[in-house]
Structure 1
Amino acid sequence: MYARSKAIPYLSRIAALLVDLHYHLIFPAIRHTMPTRLSRLFSKEKEAEAEHKESQFKSPPSPGYGEPPPEYDAEHTIQPPDVTVGFSNLSLSNKNKDGFPSPDECTAHLKVLECFYRLRQKVGSTDGLFGITDSVVTESGVAIYDNASRLLAKLAEKRWAIFVSRAADRFEAWILALLPQAQMITIQELAAGAKSGRLLDRPANAPLQFSKNNMPPVDVLMVWHAYMLNPRAYLEDSIRYGRTSIWHTPFPWFAAASCINSETFDYEAGATAEPHFQEMTSLSWHNLDMAGPRVVNCPSCFSDNPAQWTTCPQKAPRVQIADHKMLSVALDDMLCSGSGFCDTYFDLTCISCKTSITHERLRAGKFCADVRKLFNKTVPMGGTVLGTEGLPGRFNGEVDTTYKHLSQTTNRLISCGLGASILNQPKLSGSGTNESMQGIREIVEKFTKDKTYMRKVRDSASPRMMRTEKIGIRRMMSRYWENHSSFALDLAGAVIRQESFVEKMHNIDWLHSPALPSTMRRLIVKYERFVSIMKNPRSMAVPTLDVDLAWHTHQLDPAGYMAYTVKHTRQFVDHDDKVAETRLNDAFAWTSKTYQKLYGEPYSECTCWYCEAVRESHTSAVSRLFNTTSASANDQLHSATQDPRKSVHISAHNAVRPTDESNSYQLSAGLKAEALEKQYQKACERARKKGKKEPRRDDYYYSDAWGYPVYIPAYSPYVGYVPYAPMYYPVTLGCMALGAGAAGNCCAGICGGGVAAGSCGGMGGDCAGGVAGGCGGPGGCGGPGGCGGSGGGGCGGGGGGCGGGGG
């Protein structure tokens, strides 16, 4: 929480102190009163033990129970403060220039995030949801109060994974019904629009108007929110599918805030919203009311097949398992081995052609379907709409000169013979060359090595591809690895990658801070400075949590955000949600140093061990000797203690952990950790000399997202976010492949190691560069020399991972 100004009048300060006191003593009980069934699971012995401990801290009862209570003085009673006053009546009607976020919009965003947080808790803790019951743990004979948290978290994680997959499906149905007349763009229309600069002109029906009475359900709203936070993927799909009306539609802050109860944070849309959604989509309003199967189109014979959402409850242990470790293994086996659509090992036999339908076959089927669209309707392949600077050719006076190579060459690569070869491969009941992305990659490799064919594709005497042409092929492939949805990235994975940020906003709890308005104003100023730092063409800027809130809020006005970033940075800045951990750490250190140098203030106002080590690394002995502004500002941070879990340090929800067979990344990460350790020891030594406490250090990641504490081993705040049980998701979360030709990576000869991480080496780099993506700024994924693809832009799922996940 930001410190209040010393200029506050005396009486106002007393009032503020009273509010703080009430908040800390009374409100937590209110704030944490949310639907949960987990507390009922603990034994009576555990409850008795808790009551015994609590009684030790209670003051003894006053003597004489028969004495009458003191008289009630209604006139002088101090009324408790209204903890919702800061976000109940927001001014959200007036838009700033370029859609720049206002304090009230940031506050409304916090309100929306808290609604999502509580939705996740409620879904995860609903016993019996999707057939997943707590009884496999509570009736197992395991000492519940010792081990229940970890075991029940596994069940909660799987319920949420299924819920989010269903939500992504429901969002697709909603957006198709929202613009039923939209037509996919052709290559000719794309080229003409790129040349004229009129491609993103506002249509007559934009922006779409939302009110409390036509808002979508909360799960659909959550997916839309996560989708918009991948700006380039959102732009690519808006252009490719002819949905520029929705591109010009900002997130409906006023309607969304009006739908969320300020006390319970329940989502309560207007009276006509439910029938309106049902009429549009033919779906039930509530996600959990969808009782029917998921309809899956066979990629071989194109017939529709009913599929179960999950079959994992069928694998529940049939006998009691009293040993905790054995029960944990049995739960993993149960929750990982399902064959339903939301399960990792989805497998369905087509009722018509008897082909085995899997997630991998659906991804290959999506690629083949897009090849047919290219042949039959000249619709460009996925990933071939934008240049490396994120622009579709010309926009607002700026020209992305790489657009032509990324778009035209890549589509010609498919249309000149490669695509026909892929479609004409014999099908072998699910094991044909064109029935997996691995097999399709092999065919692409074969054709790109054919010099005669590449001369024809390039219409040149030279078969050698330019760097931008290689990027174009890699970005095209990224739209199909680990992603069989119709979008540029897997939307369920996009939702999961936002969860750590949502949880951190809940932990910090700015919503209930008396300083909420001033905090929002201050973080907007800090974000504006952050954008100026992103202008640097050779470095990647990494936000702190407060900056990231404003940044996210700005991205939720897509057209305004694009106009602003192009104007101030000469490119459409992506918010890459896949960045290698060590790259994120290095970039954060650079951002901290640059910010402190430009503005004389610490970038991260957190006193955790990591932020202290970063500040120590860029605060010189000379600046401390002469007591410069930056050194003094760093020392002032220690005037008040902070809880690192609730502090605004690095925002690392987009961090991922690369994997490679040579362990080169692990060795590099080890060296980074050693360097941080040395800086941390220096910070500790300096603190001891000044008689201050050493920076707090926690070697774990703590989460209570499921309603009870779970500790996940982690080394520092920049490590990649991984769900408690990532193996329960259809895509692998939190990692990405580095080896050339590895699963989820590029075709051999197109890119070298490191490209799956989401970048091509920054300014002037090549596809073999090891830059791991971009968090923001030209040097990152999408800047000059960057990859431009949303969701990382790499060849892994949804943009650069070995499995479409991410931090």
Structure 2
Amino acid sequence: MDAPPTYTSTTSPGTQAFSYSGPPGYPTHDPPPSYAFPQTFNIGKNRTNAPLVSSAQVKGHLALLHAFAKLRAEIDTLDDNTQRLLPFIPTDKDRRWAWFVGLAVDRFSVWCDSLRPGDSLSTADDFLPPLDVLMVWHAYMLNPGWYAEDCIRIPILRFLAQVTPIFSSSLSSNLESILAGEPSSARLNSWQTRTGKAFQPLEDAQRHQLRDVRCPKCCYPLTVPYMNAEGTGYLQQDFQTQCMRSSCKNVPKITKFVLGARKIAEDLARSETDQVWFALAGSIRTPQNSADLERGKVIKQRVLQQIRLKKPESTEASQDWTVSIMEKNLYKIRHIRDAMAARMPAEGGTLYAQSPISHRA
């Protein structure tokens, strides 16, 4: 039997010899043109004279968002020992996060109430509150219109606007290093002295498991748990409590909606002697004027013409007027909003028919 024929790298049985010289060439193109990011922009009829955000601010903001995400992950994965120290903490991750944010909002409120004029001279290293409070502060500023008006209108926030530059300027300077390291002793001392609370939120949650609320009628302080086995704690979905004083036996169960009704009623009953604080939420800030007090005055006068909101002739005290508004509207926040909106056709009834007022009034 004859041996098979030999083959080479360029031949195979029954084919012609060939050679391979690589893929075909492609036409070359010119490199893309260089691009310079614009330094000014048109915003409406105006033109900026510089970039609105620097790369350093973007970097600082990303570091802040990363810190928030890391905080959320820590709360989602609490160890068994921590959970044992926090009775009734939700097992569902979303509910647990809602509980944590609720605590952070309370801590933010306490901190805001501690602010004083001289705080605007502080540095970020020594002044910024804990991360959970920074998160609430940051979320608040995401609606700059409401934030700016509230800092003018609400007494507890009167100094918040003055310290806002400390937070905003840190975005382009040292916020990333502040978040990455341990808090300075001055920062710890500032927080603890102002608030009487632990710097770490979970430690604070272990120490403070009760909260004070006031009866919407008599203002008597009531102590309620943040969480309880019945699901009626302050930070739980079915929160409710009751004032047991004899003068309040006809008051409905106290819920978040009833407390919200009290806030709106207080705003309505606040007199002009309180200066800008008399104004209603959403009534003084316009695109042309950040504090149009005359507009706020006109709107409030118009709203108070509604029969269910009018000041009783027999009283001078704002507390009595506040209670009158709640009683005439059955302690229902929806009824108060509807009464306010009914007097606003010229301004647009939706100004006081929207739910945000229940939280901001």
Q: What TM-score results when the alignment is normalised by the length of structure 2?
A: 0.69
The superposition leaves residues 420-464 of structure 1 with CA deviations (integer Å, 9 ceiling, x where unpaired) of 267464867xxx62511122134346x63xxxxx9xxxxxxxxxx
From 233, 238, 242, give the equivalent of 1:340. 233
Go from structure 1 to structure 2 and tell me whether the alpha carbon gap of 1:160 and 1:109 turns closer, same or farther (over 3 Å shift). Answer: same
1:366 aligns with 2:279: no
Go from structure 1 to structure 2 and tell me whether the alpha carbon gap of 1:435 and 1:411 turns closer, same or farther (over 3 Å shift). Answer: same
The superposition leaves residues 646-688 of structure 1 with CA deviations (integer Å, 9 ceiling, x where unpaired) of xxxxxxxxxxxxxxxxxxxxxxxxxxxxxxxxxxxxxxxxxxx
Alignment match, 1:350: 243
Alignment match, 1:271: 185
Go from structure 1 to structure 2 and tell me whether the alpha carbon gap of 1:98 and 1:339 turns closer, same or farther (over 3 Å shift). Answer: farther
Alpha-carbon separation, structure 1, partners of 2:323 and 2:129: 42
Alpha-carbon separation, structure 2, partners of 1:390 and 1:220: 32
Alignment match, 1:382: 281
Go from structure 1 to structure 2 and tell me whether the alpha carbon gap of 1:384 and 1:206 turns closer, same or farther (over 3 Å shift). Answer: farther
CA contact under 8 A between 1:384 and 1:476: conserved in structure 2? no
Displacement after TM superposition at 1:411 (Å): 1.2
1:391 aligns with 2:300: no
Go from structure 1 to structure 2 and tell me whether the alpha carbon gap of 1:240 and 1:109 turns closer, same or farther (over 3 Å shift). Answer: same
Go from structure 1 to structure 2 and tell me whether the alpha carbon gap of 1:249 and 1:475 turns closer, same or farther (over 3 Å shift). Answer: farther
From 53, 73, 78, give the equivalent of 1:101. 53
Alignment match, 1:302: 219
Go from structure 1 to structure 2 and tell me whether the alpha carbon gap of 1:98 and 1:371 turns closer, same or farther (over 3 Å shift). Answer: farther
Alignment match, 2:335: 439
Alignment match, 2:152: 239
Aligned pairs, how many? 288
Report the 3-state secondary structure (helix = DSSP H, G, I; strand = E; otherwise coil) of the residue aligned with 2:107. helix
Alpha-carbon separation, structure 2, partners of 1:220 and 1:98: 31
Alpha-carbon separation, structure 1, partners of 2:326 and 2:179: 51
From 69, 87, 99, give the equivalent of 1:131. 87
Q: Give the CA RMSD over aligned residues.
A: 3.3
The unaligned stretches of length 5 or more in structure 2 are 1-30, 33-47, 313-320
Go from structure 1 to structure 2 and tell me whether the alpha carbon gap of 1:424 and 1:362 turns closer, same or farther (over 3 Å shift). Answer: closer
The superposition leaves residues 617-663 of structure 1 with CA deviations (integer Å, 9 ceiling, x where unpaired) of xxxxxxxxxxxxxxxxxxxxxxxxxxxxxxxxxxxxxxxxxxxxxxx
Displacement after TM superposition at 1:281 (Å): 1.4
Go from structure 1 to structure 2 and tell me whether the alpha carbon gap of 1:441 and 1:212 turns closer, same or farther (over 3 Å shift). Answer: closer
CA contact under 8 A between 2:258 and 2:332: conserved in structure 1? yes
1:411 aligns with 2:309: no
Alpha-carbon separation, structure 1, partners of 2:65 and 2:325: 48
Report the 3-state secondary structure (helix = DSSP H, G, I; strand = E; otherwise coil) of the residue aligned with 2:296. helix
Alpha-carbon separation, structure 1, partners of 2:104 and 2:216: 23
1:166 aligns with 2:103: yes
Alpha-carbon separation, structure 2, partners of 1:214 and 1:424: 39
The superposition leaves residues 359-412 of structure 1 with CA deviations (integer Å, 9 ceiling, x where unpaired) of 01011000111122236535212211112x26326xxxxxxxxx5885233111
Displacement after TM superposition at 1:297 (Å): 1.7
From 107, 110, 115, give the equivalent of 2:67. 115
CA contact under 8 A between 1:235 and 1:247: conserved in structure 2? no
From 294, 311, 317, give the equivalent of 1:420. 311
Go from structure 1 to structure 2 and tell me whether the alpha carbon gap of 1:390 and 1:365 turns closer, same or farther (over 3 Å shift). Answer: farther
- The 5 A counterparts of 1:441-456 are 441-444=337-340, 448=343
Report the 3-state secondary structure (helix = DSSP H, G, I; strand = E; otherwise coil) of the residue aligned with 1:347. coil
Alpha-carbon separation, structure 1, partners of 2:89 and 2:233: 17
Alignment match, 1:280: 194
CA contact under 8 A between 1:381 and 1:476: conserved in structure 2? no
From 155, 175, 185, give the equivalent of 2:112. 175
Go from structure 1 to structure 2 and tell me whether the alpha carbon gap of 1:286 and 1:99 turns closer, same or farther (over 3 Å shift). Answer: farther
Alignment match, 1:223: 136
Code of the residue aligned with 2:69 in structure 1: it is Y
Alpha-carbon separation, structure 2, partners of 1:105 and 1:348: 45
Alpha-carbon separation, structure 2, partners of 1:103 and 1:123: 31
Report the 3-state secondary structure (helix = DSSP H, G, I; strand = E; otherwise coil) of the residue aligned with 2:222. strand
Code of the residue aligned with 2:351 in structure 1: it is R
Alpha-carbon separation, structure 1, partners of 2:127 and 2:355: 31
Displacement after TM superposition at 1:234 (Å): 0.9
Go from structure 1 to structure 2 and tell me whether the alpha carbon gap of 1:97 and 1:282 turns closer, same or farther (over 3 Å shift). Answer: farther
Displacement after TM superposition at 1:339 (Å): 1.0
Displacement after TM superposition at 1:127 (Å): 4.3
Report the 3-state secondary structure (helix = DSSP H, G, I; strand = E; otherwise coil) of the residue aligned with 2:233. coil
Displacement after TM superposition at 1:118 (Å): 0.8
Displacement after TM superposition at 1:100 (Å): 2.3
Alpha-carbon separation, structure 2, partners of 1:390 and 1:228: 20
Report the 3-state secondary structure (helix = DSSP H, G, I; strand = E; otherwise coil) of the residue aligned with 1:357. coil
CA contact under 8 A between 1:210 and 1:255: conserved in structure 2? no
Go from structure 1 to structure 2 and tell me whether the alpha carbon gap of 1:478 and 1:426 turns closer, same or farther (over 3 Å shift). Answer: closer
Report the 3-state secondary structure (helix = DSSP H, G, I; strand = E; otherwise coil) of the residue aligned with 1:272. helix
| Range with greater deviation from structure 2 (344-353 or 108-117) | 344-353
Go from structure 1 to structure 2 and tell me whether the alpha carbon gap of 1:419 and 1:122 turns closer, same or farther (over 3 Å shift). Answer: farther
Displacement after TM superposition at 1:270 (Å): 1.2
- The 5 A counterparts of 1:189-588 are 208-241=121-154, 242-243=158-159, 244-246=161-163, 248-251=165-168, 252-253=170-171, 254-261=173-180, 268-290=182-204, 291-292=207-208, 293-311=210-228, 314=229, 338-352=231-245, 353=248, 355=251, 356-374=253-271, 377-378=274-275, 379-387=278-286, 389=287, 391-392=289-290, 406-416=295-305, 418-420=309-311, 423=322, 425=324, 433-444=329-340, 448=343, 465-466=345-346, 469-470=347-348, 474-476=350-352, 478=354, 481-483=357-359, 487=360
CA contact under 8 A between 1:310 and 1:339: conserved in structure 2? yes
Code of the residue aligned with 2:149 in structure 1: it is E
Report the 3-state secondary structure (helix = DSSP H, G, I; strand = E; otherwise coil) of the residue aligned with 1:344. coil
Code of the residue aligned with 1:341 in structure 2: it is Y
Displacement after TM superposition at 1:239 (Å): 1.8
Go from structure 1 to structure 2 and tell me whether the alpha carbon gap of 1:341 and 1:212 turns closer, same or farther (over 3 Å shift). Answer: same
Code of the residue aligned with 1:367 in structure 2: it is I
Alpha-carbon separation, structure 1, partners of 2:218 and 2:337: 22
CA contact under 8 A between 2:111 and 2:195: conserved in structure 1? yes
Alpha-carbon separation, structure 2, partners of 1:227 and 1:364: 22
Code of the residue aligned with 1:439 in structure 2: it is H
- The 5 A counterparts of 1:640-719 are none
CA contact under 8 A between 2:241 and 2:254: conserved in structure 1? yes
Alpha-carbon separation, structure 2, partners of 1:380 and 1:426: 17
CA contact under 8 A between 2:281 and 2:357: conserved in structure 1? no
Go from structure 1 to structure 2 and tell me whether the alpha carbon gap of 1:101 and 1:369 turns closer, same or farther (over 3 Å shift). Answer: same
The superposition leaves residues 294-341 of structure 1 with CA deviations (integer Å, 9 ceiling, x where unpaired) of 111221111211111122xx26xxxxxxxxxxxxxxxxxxxxxx2111
Go from structure 1 to structure 2 and tell me whether the alpha carbon gap of 1:480 and 1:117 turns closer, same or farther (over 3 Å shift). Answer: closer
Q: Percent identity?
A: 24
Go from structure 1 to structure 2 and tell me whether the alpha carbon gap of 1:442 and 1:384 turns closer, same or farther (over 3 Å shift). Answer: closer
Alpha-carbon separation, structure 2, partners of 1:281 and 1:345: 28
Alpha-carbon separation, structure 2, partners of 1:348 and 1:435: 14
CA contact under 8 A between 1:371 and 1:419: conserved in structure 2? no
Alignment match, 1:157: 94
